[in-house]
Amino acid sequence: MDDKVNNKLKAAALKYDKDKDDAPILVAKGQGEIAREILKIAEKESIPILQNSPLVDALMKVEIGFEIPPELYKVVAEILAFVYSLDTTTPRIFSPSK
């Protein structure tokens, strides 16, 4: 893969425990090599992967360890609803239609 393309890759990871957290928390973010590592860990751990560039761009502005801002609640809630509905026969990559 070309270095320019590699460095444009971005990824962010959220965690959410509905019993403990008021909102999802950003636990990792990065671009280039860090983004590839985040995606590699997600695949290895069978964590669902969402392809949504505008959301990742917004999450890149959030500090690691902090809750997502209220303006992202709706889109993240839709993603969480999808994740919670997954079973073992469902593909693990979600790319919402625009």
The b-or-e profile of 10-49 (16+ CB within 10 A means b, else e) is: bbbbbebeeeeeeebbbebbbbeeebeebeeebeeeeeeb
Which pTM value belongs to this model?
Answer: 0.77
Overall domain count for the chain? 1
pLDDT tens per residue, range 8-35: 899 999 998 889 999 999 999 999 999 9
Measured CA to CA, the distance from residue 6 to residue 9 in angstroms comes to 6
Average pLDDT over residues 67-78: 94
Query: By percentage, how much of the chain surpasses pLDDT 70?
Result: 81
What is the three-class DSSP state of 43? helix
pLDDT value of position 6: 57
Whichever domain contains 76, its CATH number is 3.40.1690.10
Q: Tokens for 98?
A: 């625009």
Average pLDDT over residues 41-47: 91
Q: What range does the domain containing 47 cover?
A: 3-94
pLDDT value of position 98: 40
Is the pLDDT at 91 greater than 60, yes or no?
A: no
Q: How many CA atoms lie within 13 A of 19 on its CB side?
A: 0
